[in-house]
Structure 1
């Protein structure tokens, strides 16, 4: 055998071994991902097409299940929340969607530090626009029409429990791309009069329509439910001790977390519902600490996240104070109902 022939044989052997090694690594990674998922006791997660278009009612959320699709937005039929999940490939820390529009809050991992951004996506989960986010993502909402998207980030601090934090809340109109970078520039109205508040914090938008929304306003050591007017650029306080509001589908009630007397300082909240006509508060049957912006699954049921073995689980409770809390699905956070 000539020297050239020997070299060709050696090269072929090296390439063959490299190919076998690659296949083995990929196979092992796939087995490892499936094994992690099986050990977690979670549902099957497979890649596929996820859409925000109208169709059968579906539940979307960030999947926390171990495996190659952890942190991706996944979809399940709304009536089978614990069924097999379809993974979209879109990774988000926070997510919400309505009427074919989604808002995805993402981390961009750098060599020394992470940065964050808010990405508006279309019904196919393709990016339309993105905006820099000044801190750690914490809340996001899309208006029922899909025309407005809002998000809140922690500019400093990482918990609402104490007072040493600062937030920034933004809203964008997906028709004109008019962008309100910081709602703290709106005029605060309390007791019928404009108020100057240097310690203002605002978070947790929930939309009523394409002109109005509700939000938490904090100042002077107190929190308030405020009604926002985009055209007038005002925030008018309505009720005290309301955080992370969520408007019911019929627009008559607000689900929210309320600080209760006697609770631990780092776990101060319980889940309540406020009747906007009478300002009557109703405690839900969920007695644990809730640090989330609840979502209305329908006119009667609230969905929210609680800490779980693999990050977070989604739970439900009736909005009228009856019944008991129940697990909706494990290893999930940031839900949105579509269809």
Structure 2
């Protein structure tokens, strides 16, 4: 038998080295590419027609609903990593298999049927829909998995369903800080929240190790910084207050606390939840904030609520849930 040509011998050695150094990662990639994606479609009987608290069920990865009667939850929603719903639309984010990481954003109607899909790089992180359902936004991590570290990069996209105009990354929006047009290569946006006029929005921008609350204008395509140390804003249903997480400690295990900011006088107050919340809180009504915390008894996460005025105490709403959204 003739010996292998030198080129083939070198190729075999390279492949062997990759397998050894990768610790089996190549096999994982091949497996991930060939396995079936989870079903994203909702069952025919599950829709946004019923009022209640919609959320991602940790056990199934699908969206469920709890009504106000206290009975068992309704199941059969789409499979999502992150979810939000408002008005006539819902937004479902899921991580596609394979490397590099990719996020698929699915825009759904009130019957939770697919209207549009967009694929972007990164890991699903935040999802928001304007009150009317006309505008949606999502954030994906490009690298890293925690805001508590500096080694991460985000990509925040915005889609206007009225015109079909898609902005895959908001980093190029003209930004003003301290009254001056601001330019820096490290600018990152995340956690968009919309006003009821489908024009004004708020988001977090980070740069030079600082985070800012910015107010944006879709018509003018501009943004201006309002305040430092505001992350993951969530605008109240009456457009007057913003719930957000504020960095209160350098402890990477517990850096944040939930606050509410009054936009009329820019005064803020802490909420009764004293645990560190790494989530974009959701307004369940004009006076109640919902959010996810790491779960107990081995659950991925639980959904809690707390009064928005700083009184009361946290209340467990959904064991084994995340991505809360109140739909009427």
Superposition map of 1:188-207 within 5 A: 188-207=175-194
CA distance in 1, matches of 2:48, 2:163: 21
Q: Is there any run of 5+ residues in structure 1 with no aligned partner, and where?
A: 1-45
Deviation for aligned residue 1:100: 2.1
Are the counterparts in 1 of residues 260 and 308 from structure 2 also a CA contact under 8 Å? yes
1:71 aligns with 2:61: yes
In structure 2, the residue corresponding to 1:88 is in which secondary structure? coil
More strand by share: 1
Count of matched residue pairs: 284
Check conservation: 1:61, 1:75, Cα contact below 8 A. yes
CA distance, structure 1, for counterparts of residue 243 and residue 135 of structure 2 = 20
Q: 1:52 aligns with which of 48, 54, 62?
A: 48
Task: Please name the residue that 1:62 is paired with.
Answer: 56
Pairing partner for 2:294 from 280, 301, 307: 307
Query: Quick check: which has more Rg, 1 or 2?
Result: 1
1:150 CA displacement: 0.4
In structure 1, C-alpha distance between the alignment counterparts of 2:320 and 2:278, rounded to whole Å: 16
Match of 2:204 among 216, 219, 222: 216
Question: Could you tell me how far 1:173 is from its partner in structure 2?
Answer: 1.1
Structure 2 CA distance for aligned equivalents of residues 198 and 109 of structure 1: 30
TM (normalized to structure 2)? 0.83
Asked whether the 8 Å contact 2:101–2:123 carries over to 1, the reply is no
User: Which segments of structure 1 move beyond 4 Å, counting only runs of 4 or more?
Assistant: none
Residues 108 and 115, structure 2, Cα contact 8 Å, conserved in 1: yes
Aligned to 2:34: none
The offset of 1:330, in angstroms, is 0.4
Per-residue Cα deviation, 1:141-185 (whole angstroms, up to 9, x for no partner): 000010001000001111111111000000101122110111101
Q: Is residue 337 of structure 1 aligned with residue 323 of structure 2?
A: no
CA distances 1:258-314 after superposition (whole Å, capped 9, x unpaired):
0014x5123200000011111111011111010000011111111000000310000
**What secondary structure is seen at the aligned counterpart in 1 of 2:301?**
strand
